[in-house]
Amino acid sequence: MRKVAVVGIGMTKFGELWDYNLRDIFTMAAIEAMDDTGCTTKDIEAFYVGSMSAGRFVGQEHIGALLADYTGLKHVPATRVEGACASGGIALREAYFAIKAGEYDVVMVGGIEKMSDLPTTEEVTTTLGAAADQEWETFMGLTFPGAYALIAKAHMNRYGTTREQLASVAVKNHKNGKNNPKAQFRREITVEQVLASSVVADPLTLLDCSPVSDGGAVAIVASEDVARKFTDTPVWITGSGQAGDTIALHDRKDLTTLPAAKFASERAYSAANIGPKDVGFAEVHDCFTIAEIVATEDLGFFPAGEGGKAAEDGLTEVDGQIPVNPSGGLKSKGHPVGATGVAQVVSVVEQLRGEAEKRQVNAPNIGLTHNIGGSGATCVVHIFSR
């Protein structure tokens, strides 16, 4: 089967983008990606976009059609993909399959979310709660911070992970985000500030949580037959893995791990013929600080229970043993839900091309993206290399 590469990338700044609506945010990211490759709208044969809840955030469905239209693509097959916060990652995987199978040569993959048009925290919380079991978790009062708080407590009880260790993840990611011009938050924070910020769902505080954000990210993906027409630095997708799990957190026996991530990464590693030790750096789904710690364990970077200490000891810093979230992660970069999976791809590609400037990981050759939906009901992992 033929190889698939990312040949162009683009993303908007993430944040509260009051001046721009959903379609404009996406189009801006798409323009940047096309300019990155010198490709035009005429080159795009198919379109996949990930968005979790455009319908509830801005009342718009059928956004495959909407965004293809506003991106200037005519009569191109356009599909919206949804897997909660993993929508972007899954959109990439769909494009990857289509190209591998020989159906298309050049595909635009995007991710988008416009969250700030919903005025109240309660409405955003409830809308995001639709990624959990609406009838039996959210209805009972579980929120996403609540779900990850339950995971955090279980992890702390079993392994002795501390709140300071959780906080160190946020501190690291803000430090990285400071060097990312597209990041929502570009200021450093301290462990003390994280611990002192207001409690959202004990033990998680405001600064343990990724923010509400608007943003779009786009990747142009091409087959090996045509990749070099668009760029001298194609970044190859060498492995893709996806797995699912129960929708409800309460249906999982062990709250200290996300099995979907274990399975997805095993499948991706197997496809790429590598193991966790071969990964140079990773962009993982730190929707909450505990999520990054659990991710590093699920991906096999550290043994179960040691993710917290590893973060505290600096092993995941940009210059550490295995850099995690050199882009700033969801915490500092922002988390427009559907866009995140594709933004992770943008960050990995920048790194592998050596274009990451102040947040550049030293001489990376293999990068990994880890994108989670809900409290771990979906996970998609991709592996990239030069």
Partner 1 sequence: MGHLESVPLFWRRMKALYTLTGVECSNCGEKYFPPRLICPECSGKEMKDFKFKGKGKVVSYSIIEVPPQGLEYQTPYGLAIVELDEGPRVTGQVVGCTLEEIKAGMRVEATLRKIIAINKAGVIQYGFKFRPEGYPVFNTEVT
CA geometry: angle at 137 spanning 133 and 141, to 5°?
A: 140
Which residue number, 87 or 127, has a Cβ lying nearer to partner 1? Answer: 127
| Residues forming beta bridges with residue 111, ordered by sequence position | 50, 217
Q: How far is the CB of 375 from partner 1 (least distance, A)?
A: 11
Out of 73, 183, 235, 255, which residue is the one contacting partner 1 (CB under 8 A)? 255
Provide the minimum distance between the beta carbon of 163 and partner 1 in the complex, in angstroms, as a whole number.
13
Confirm or reject binding of residue 140 to partner 1 (CB under 8 A).
yes
* Residue in 90, 106, 154, 349 binding partner 1, rule: CB under 8 A: 154
Q: Which of 249, 268, 311, 361 binds partner 1 (CB under 8 A)?
A: 249
In whole angstroms, how close is the CB of 144 to partner 1 at the nearest point?
9
Which of 155, 174, 285, 335 is catalytic? The answer is: 335
How many whole angstroms separate alpha carbon 316 and alpha carbon 301? 10
* Residue 121 near partner 1 by CB under 8 A: yes
Q: Is 382 annotated in the active site?
A: no
Q: Compare residues 129 and 376 and give the one whose CB is closer to partner 1.
A: 129
Task: Give CA–CA dist 373/379, Å, rounded.
Answer: 6
Among residues 85, 209, 287, 379, the one annotated as catalytic is 85
Q: Of residues 136, 196, 314, 357, which one binds partner 1 by CB under 8 A?
A: 136
x-marked contacts with partner 1 along 360-379 as a string, rule CB under 8 A: --------------------
Does 265 bind partner 1 (CB under 8 A)? Our answer is: no
Round to whole Å and give the CA distance between 92 and 101: 14
Q: Does the active-site annotation cover 335?
A: yes
Number of residues this chain uses to bind partner 1 (CB under 8 A) = 37
Distance CA 229, CA 224 (A): 10
Report the residue from 66, 76, 131, 142 that binds partner 1 according to the rule CB under 8 A. Answer: 142
In this chain, which of 200, 217, 222, 342 binds partner 1, going by CB under 8 A?
200
- Rounded to the nearest angstrom, the gap between the alpha carbon of residue 226 and the centroid of all alpha carbons in its chain is 27
Interface positions with partner 1 (CB under 8 A): 121-123, 125-127, 129, 133-143, 145-146, 149-150, 153-154, 157, 198-204, 248-251, 255
Residues tagged active-site: 85, 335
